[in-house]
Structure 1
Amino acid sequence: MDASSQAIANYEALSILTGQMRDAAIDGEWDELISIEQHCGELVAAMKVIDVEAILDKDARQYKIQLIDKILSDDAEIRILVQAWMGQLELSMQSNRQEQRLLQAYGA
């Protein structure tokens, strides 16, 4: 596979992975999201070398742009979902701390 084909294949793979991450975030599967994110990191590291070498024709560049748009859209949705989950987690932790203070103040 030449560098151009490999570059496109990598963007397709990254697009699939970010879609899986988005689905995991929607389902609240945080461990799965982290696992997939690690695979994304490995792929992105490999892509840096190949992407520099790839010379894409007009159609391939346009397709690459579409893939990048999807990847960025997935990333934005993941960020929103993670921030919402973190907010819920923070509220839960605050509630637990308050409960602990009450137990300490009034005994168990």
Structure 2
Amino acid sequence: MSLLLEDYQRLSGITGEMRNAAASGEWDRLISLEQECKRKVEEIKPRDIVPSNPEERAQKLALLKKILADDADIRSRTESWMEQLQRIMQSTRSEQRLQQTYLANY
């Protein structure tokens, strides 16, 4: 197996861990893994080629499909979490405005 495929396997492992962290609500772990993922992508970019061997091409394609599926699942989970966080923040702002109005009138 080529070094490039090994790198893609590692990247796939990281995105799988990210998917698990998002599924279990481990947001700090997800952030840490996201940083690791970015470093790995930056490491791969300058060496990324289409393998000439058909078997390696198929392996790379399968890994890319898995990485993209992980990414879609992570986005779906984090978007709902972000929406929930936004609702909480809006509620807090509404409470603050209500308190300010109350204190200004009394």
Q: Distance in 1 between matches of 2:67 and 2:88?
A: 31
- 1:97 maps to 93
Q: Distance in 2 between matches of 1:18 and 1:55?
A: 22
Q: How many residues align?
A: 103
Q: Distance in 1 between matches of 2:93 and 2:102?
A: 14
Q: TM-score, normalised by structure 2?
A: 0.89
Pairing of 1:41-52 with structure 2 (within 5 A): 41-52=38-49
Please tell me whether residue 14 in structure 1 is matched to residue 11 in structure 2.
yes
Per the alignment, in what secondary structure is the counterpart of residue 70 of structure 1? Answer: helix
Alignment RMSD, CA only?
A: 1.4
- 1:69 maps to 65
Q: TM-score, normalised by structure 1?
A: 0.88
- 2:20 maps to 23
Unaligned runs of 5+ residues in structure 2 are none
Instruction: After superposition, give the CA deviation of every residue in 1:35-56 in whole Å (9 maximum; x if it has no partner).
Output: 111111111111112223x744
- 2:80 maps to 84
Instruction: After superposition, give the CA deviation of every residue in 1:73-99 in whole Å (9 maximum; x if it has no partner).
Output: 000011111111110000000110111
Unaligned runs of 5+ residues in structure 1 are none
Percent identity of equivalent pairs: 47
